[in-house]
Chain A
């Protein structure tokens, strides 16, 4: 096997692993780090469920190979908040019916966190464009949209 040693930071903690070069970052997070909050839906870059931050930029963990994250900082949903201490975006999703089954939610929360960091006061159109890379089969998006509006109001 041509396994490769990698080292990266995930949610602030150093992680090492020996991986096959074709292992995706999503599988590394789920299988090696047991961080199963990063969901896998389509596995070809369309649904957004696997969105994580790589050096702060929102990316598809299903399109990034684990070896490409070598030496970099990855933030997953587990790094944004805990059940006892939800992030402002998570609180806004909870309060505005931004989720039903929750499958898409980690991807939305990660994407929205990056969106509001880069643009704390988005227009309605900017929110819609910012959400366009994530698919939700349950909510019909209105609750998600309201949650982003509310979170934008709450972001200091």
Chain B
């Protein structure tokens, strides 16, 4: 039998957020290492290899309030227990849908959740790149109450002990959004370099983040400034040359950031270049003028 080794583990199966944070707090007070379990796609392999031997697991499947998606006047709220499969078909957020469709394979998307992606905070995680560009807020609850944190702060400071991610909140889309990534076989490997781009036609700006190059998903501020100034906001379009320039500035921006650990098979210089190519391509998809809907195959 291949049950992951180590001493036995206590299991909590709360039915509400309140019960879940109470279980987290009780384990913390007892000084026992505790892990939350959502879809298990990151945690179960870690349990097996023994890299994380928790004394207790808090399984979140029965906490139905975490599985809710909601739409307010200006924002969308996505519960921590929402899966990639559920997001992949969500018409209210084309960007989240596009990102979720390219995560792993269907068997991973059926299990993997938003809360798990934030809990793992893998700097190459697809969702983190998109949520960085979308300026998401992370909603957290502990026994002491609830708070909202900007995604950047959440990623740099991490979760406090006893805290549970309950949801993320993003602004409602107000223009085209896209998500592009490159890497090895998608069903088996995380993306190597990714790029999320959101056009905000109301505030007349473009938000763009690159993953897989800097230590965490990186907003390319210079490129965003160029777009805000030079896109024709009356039509929401831009000439092809602007897409190239946008890509160059995006590459320069991410090159200046503190880098993700070196990877001999994919040197930093290659990933910087790829980030520029993806950013230019994402920009062109969302903003380059075209007379008819573009098709992937030539006529």
A positions within 8 Å CB-CB of B: 1-4, 20-24, 27, 31, 40, 43-46, 48, 51, 54, 57-60, 62-65, 67-68, 111, 114-115, 130, 132-135
Task: Say which residue of A2, A40, A111, A114 sits within 8 Å of B8 (CB atoms).
Answer: A2
Whether the Cβ atoms of A111 and B11 lie closer than 8 Å is: no
Residue of A44, A45, A54, A115 contacting most chain B CB atoms (<10 Å): A45
Residue of B39, B59, B107 contacting most chain A CB atoms (<10 Å): B107
- B38-63 near A? 1/0 per residue, CB < 8 Å: 01110011011000000001010100
Known: A63-B45, A65-B40. 5 other contacts (CB 8 A): A27-B1, A45-B41, A45-B45, A48-B107, A133-B104
What's the Cα separation between A68 and B110 when bound, in Å? 14
Query: From B61, which residue of chain A is reached at the shortest CB distance?
Result: A68
Q: Across the interface, which residues of A come within 8 angstroms of B39, CB to CB?
A: 63
- B185 on the A face (CB < 8 A): yes
- B120 on the A face (CB < 8 A): no
Q: Taking the nearest CB of chain B, how far is it from the CB of A47, in angstroms?
A: 8
What's the Cα separation between A57 and B110 when bound, in Å? 7
11 A-B Cβ contacts within 8 A? Answer: A2-B8, A2-B11, A24-B44, A27-B3, A45-B44, A57-B85, A59-B110, A65-B59, A67-B13, A68-B59, A134-B105
Task: Say which residue of B9, B41, B85, B186 sits within 8 Å of A22 (CB atoms).
Answer: B9
Q: Across the interface, which residues of B come within 8 angstroms of A133, CB to CB?
A: 104-108, 187
Task: Say which residue of B4, B40, B105, B187 sits within 8 Å of A68 (CB atoms).
Answer: B40
Judged by DSSP, the binding face of A is loop
- B87 on the A face (CB < 8 A): no
Supposing A27-B3, A68-B59 touch, asked if A22 and B47 sit within 8 A by C-beta, the answer is yes
Whether the Cβ atoms of B106 and A22 lie closer than 8 Å is: no
Whether the Cβ atoms of B44 and A64 lie closer than 8 Å is: yes
List residues of B (165-219) whose CB comes within 8 Å of A's CBs: 185-188
What's the Cα separation between A21 and B13 when bound, in Å? 11
Q: Taking the nearest CB of chain A, how far is it from the CB of B190, in angstroms?
A: 12
- B10 on the A face (CB < 8 A): yes
B positions within 8 Å CB-CB of A: 1-4, 8-11, 13, 37, 39-41, 44-45, 47-48, 57, 59, 61, 85, 104-108, 110-111, 185-188
What's the Cα separation between A64 and B255 when bound, in Å? 39
Task: Say which residue of A23, A60, A62, A67 sits within 8 Å of B59 (CB atoms).
Answer: A67
What's the Cα separation between A68 and B105 when bound, in Å? 20
Q: Taking the nearest CB of chain A, how far is it from the CB of B7, in angstroms?
A: 9
When A and B form their complex, which 6 residue pairs have the shortest distance between CB atoms, in order from nearest? A133-B105, A21-B11, A44-B45, A57-B110, A132-B187, A46-B188
Whether the Cβ atoms of B1 and A31 lie closer than 8 Å is: yes
What's the Cα separation between A59 and B61 when bound, in Å? 15
Task: Say which residue of B4, B40, B106 sits within 8 Å of A64 (CB atoms).
Answer: B40
Whether the Cβ atoms of B45 and A130 lie closer than 8 Å is: no
Whether the Cβ atoms of A51 and B107 lie closer than 8 Å is: yes
Whether the Cβ atoms of B107 and A58 lie closer than 8 Å is: yes
Task: Say which residue of B40, B48, B105 sits within 8 Å of A48 (CB atoms).
Answer: B105
Q: Taking the nearest CB of chain A, how far is it from the CB of B238, in angstroms?
A: 30
What's the Cα separation between A115 and B185 when bound, in Å? 20
Q: Taking the nearest CB of chain B, how far is it from the CB of A135, in angstroms?
A: 8
Whether the Cβ atoms of B3 and A44 lie closer than 8 Å is: no
Query: From A50, which residue of chain B is reached at the shortest CB distance?
Result: B107
Q: Taking the nearest CB of chain B, how far is it from the CB of A122, in angstroms?
A: 12
Query: From A23, which residue of chain B is reached at the shortest CB distance?
Result: B3
What's the Cα separation between A64 and B40 when bound, in Å? 6
Whether the Cβ atoms of A130 and B11 lie closer than 8 Å is: no
Query: From B45, which residue of chain A is reached at the shortest CB distance?
Result: A44
Query: From A67, which residue of chain B is reached at the shortest CB distance?
Result: B11
Whether the Cβ atoms of A111 and B40 lie closer than 8 Å is: no
Whether the Cβ atoms of A21 and B40 lie closer than 8 Å is: no
Query: From B60, which residue of chain A is reached at the shortest CB distance?
Result: A68
Q: Taking the nearest CB of chain B, how far is it from the CB of A73, in angstroms?
A: 14
Residue of A20, A59, A63, A135 contacting most chain B CB atoms (<10 Å): A63
Q: Across the interface, which residues of B come within 8 angstroms of A45, CB to CB?
A: 41, 44-45, 107-108
